[in-house]
Structure 1
Amino acid sequence: MSDKKVIKNSKVLLAIKKLLSESGVEYKMFEHEPVWTSEEASKIRGTPFDSGAKALVLYVDDVPSLFVLPGSLKADFNKIKKLFMAENVRLATPVEVEDLTGLVIGSIPPFGSVMGLHSYFDSKLLEHEVVAFNIGAHTASVIMKPESLMVIEKPKILDFSI
């Protein structure tokens, strides 16, 4: 038995479901076994690892924000420092993530707006035919065109991955 906390339902999940249903964009939503990593998610969704939209809560100096990038890439903290003229960039701790979002790591969706966070998407997300991501639960995912995700979330597009 795993000691990981499984999020199956959340206020964020309900808000995103409502947002998607009202958006008018095409998407596919489905439920699956719990997943915590981009690798696990791509296997269970049957989607390429690259097409997963990995959402990270980062602190840029003292400001928490959501950074979303392809699952196979990493956030380059030095690039982010330069883009924001910041002194410090760091991952939020698991406790900070839960305090900020009401969720735990592995269930963070690419919708910072729903969680009161600014959203920054890496430009490489737009290179994919579709993106796949969880929506505030370890057991629920969505697949859609990246352009549709951009229309709904309206993030700032930057180049911060390696």
Structure 2
Amino acid sequence: MDTPITRYLQQEGIDFLLLPHHKPARTIQEAAAERGVEAHRLVKSILLRDMGGLHVLACVPGTRQVDPKKVRTLLNCRRMTCADAQDVEDVTGLTIGTVAPIGLKQPLPVIFDRSLCEYQTVNISSGNRMAGIELAMSDLVQLCEPRYGDICR
């Protein structure tokens, strides 16, 4: 499967495992079931924006929720909200549910919840609802150079 994310990983020489789905995943639970992995090992990537137009990608374990207030505090912003579907597509080049912290249309600040550091390998979206990608957490960190914080609800 050829997506901006798989092309980026190949270009960077990163080892990864493509995990094809039998049907499109619409939720974290469906994606985990299709990939045969635990949902908490999926990295959920949520695009947030502040009032001034700053966009950031907040990443948390699949079973957790991003707390925009905690991201706002971490970045010292006045207000931080989830981006709408059109904003997600315009900024990342991907649709909601297929966003990963790499292979984006434009560079974005990325924030990882500290709990992601517990994992040796993680699952991210391939940029397509019909497959996921498993890779080493160390490779993902190297590629997106995230900032860390306590950003879960």
Shorter-chain TM-score category? Answer: 0.7 to 0.9
1:114 corresponds in structure 2 to 104
> SS where residue 81 of structure 1 aligns?
helix
In structure 2, what is the Cα distance between the partners aligned to 1:160 and 1:70? 11
> SS where residue 30 of structure 2 aligns?
helix
- Give the alignment's Cα RMSD to 1 decimal: 1.8
Residue 54 (1) aligns with residue 44 (2): yes
Query: Match of 1:40, as an amino acid?
Result: E
> SS where residue 104 of structure 2 aligns?
helix
The answer (yes or no) to whether the contact 2:20–2:35 under 8 Å persists in 1 is no
Equivalenced residue count is 150
1:24 to partner: Cα distance: 3.6
Deviates more, 1:20-29 or 1:67-76: 20-29
1:115 to partner: Cα distance: 2.5
Q: Deviations over 1:28-48 (max 9, x none)?
A: 113212112211111111111
Identity of aligned residues (%): 26
**Stretches of structure 1 lacking an aligned partner (at least 5 in a row):** 1-7
Q: Deviations over 1:7-36 (max 9, x none)?
A: x86xxx23x223212334332113212112
Q: Deviations over 1:32-72 (max 9, x none)?
A: 12112211111111111110000101013321111111011
1:18 corresponds in structure 2 to 7
State the TM-score, normalized to the length of structure 2.
Answer: 0.87
Residue 135 (1) aligns with residue 136 (2): no
In structure 1, what is the Cα distance between the partners aligned to 2:8 and 2:99? 16
1:89 corresponds in structure 2 to 80
In structure 2, what is the Cα distance between the partners aligned to 1:64 and 1:23? 24
Query: Match of 1:41, as an amino acid?
Result: A
In structure 2, what is the Cα distance between the partners aligned to 1:73 and 1:54? 8
**Stretches of structure 2 lacking an aligned partner (at least 5 in a row):** none
The answer (yes or no) to whether the contact 2:123–2:132 under 8 Å persists in 1 is yes
Query: Match of 1:23, as an amino acid?
Result: E
The answer (yes or no) to whether the contact 1:36–1:107 under 8 Å persists in 2 is no
The answer (yes or no) to whether the contact 1:36–1:105 under 8 Å persists in 2 is no
State the TM-score, normalized to the length of structure 1.
Answer: 0.83
Deviates more, 1:101-110 or 1:85-94: 101-110
> SS where residue 114 of structure 1 aligns?
coil
Residue 101 (1) aligns with residue 92 (2): yes
